[in-house]
Copies of this chain bind each other. A is one copy, B any other.
Amino acid sequence: MRAPMRFFSDNAAPAHPKVIEAIVASNRLDTAYDGDEWSARLDGAFSDLFETEVKALWVTTGTAANCLALAALCPPYGAVLCHRDAHIEVDEAGAPAFFGGGSKLILLDGPGAKVTPEAVAAACERVRPDVHQVQPHALSITNATEYGLSYRAAEIGELGAVAKRRGLAFHLDGARLANAVAFTGESLADLTWRSRVDALSFGFIKNGGLNAEALILFRTELAEEIAVRRKRAGHLMSKGRMAAAQILALLEDGLWLDNARASNAAARTLGSAAAGRLVYPVEANELFLRVTADEVETLRGQGFDFYDWAPGEIRLVTAWDQQGEAVERLAEAIAAL
């Protein structure tokens, strides 16, 4: 009975059965690398989904997706603006600098890991336009953010506008983009290229996938270079069909969106029970709660697992497969604290 009580991370959840079925179904002889029939369908499938022509490449991790994109969008001698709490700054082991040949992250502040146009403009202003300081070349945001907040399309549009005005390329880390779509009800197109996003790391692994993310390029001319960088980084798998098949399975009949709705719903249930304790509103599948050490002990004693985020604060993450019963039990446990 341990597994259903786990609210530690959506990374820990299993893959959706349809994803596994797709891997099994794709397990037959075909052209190696990305020359197979599944990989060949990605561009079309995502172009349909995004209502514009895109190029799509599979990779096995969000770090790879993010950093391949940033390496193409920012030169080695440039900087990427991002939030101080962004995954690329905090949890990718310096991968942006590795893929980018020594490029820099310039850190922005703001509640809930959200980036504002004002913060972008102010950061640009602080850099002297000379050769002694690293000049900004790109902006990267995360949607939903690392604190579970969802940007609306209008907000991203404003960020896109300031990015273009400042000559910055615009990258979106969409490890939990599905949750943001489910929460806002806005279209993928509005949340990305119509808001001037150039490249998107579209996350599937936290949302029912096994080990496939999609790197979506709205500036399709970047695809050739990034395909080379993917191989050079050891990310071009021999049997890439297994990655493409996973993604296609999640796209079919909107399974990706159903999964996100399920995890969002579980988070909402918990959020309602924890209303007075919420550090941020619940806009995706993550919750940050204020709790005392005693309360933490109580919850753990009841069999719930979660992340000790900071002193007096815990993080709960719900996943696509979170069972109703466990969620209800945790909601009751929180309410009873």
Contacts and interface: CB of A to CB of B under 8 A. Distances in A.
Contacts of A102: 94, 97-98, 100-102
A229 interface: yes
A239 interface: yes
Work out how many copies of this chain go into the complex: 4
Contact of A242 (B31, B211, B239): B211
A205 B234 CA distance: 14
B91 A132 contact: yes
B11 A61 contact: no
A98 B232 contact: yes
A244 to B, nearest CB: 12
A6 B75 CA distance: 37
A3 interface: yes
Nearest to A321: B29
Given A102-B97, A103-B94, A61 B211 contact: no
Contact of A133 (B14, B91, B230): B91
Given A20-B23, A24-B20, A236 B61 contact: yes
A269 B317 CA distance: 56
Contacts of A335: none
Interface string A1-45: 001001001011111000010011001111111000000000000
| CB-based closest 7 A-B pairs | A64-B234, A97-B102, A11-B32, A101-B101, A63-B234, A11-B238, A93-B232
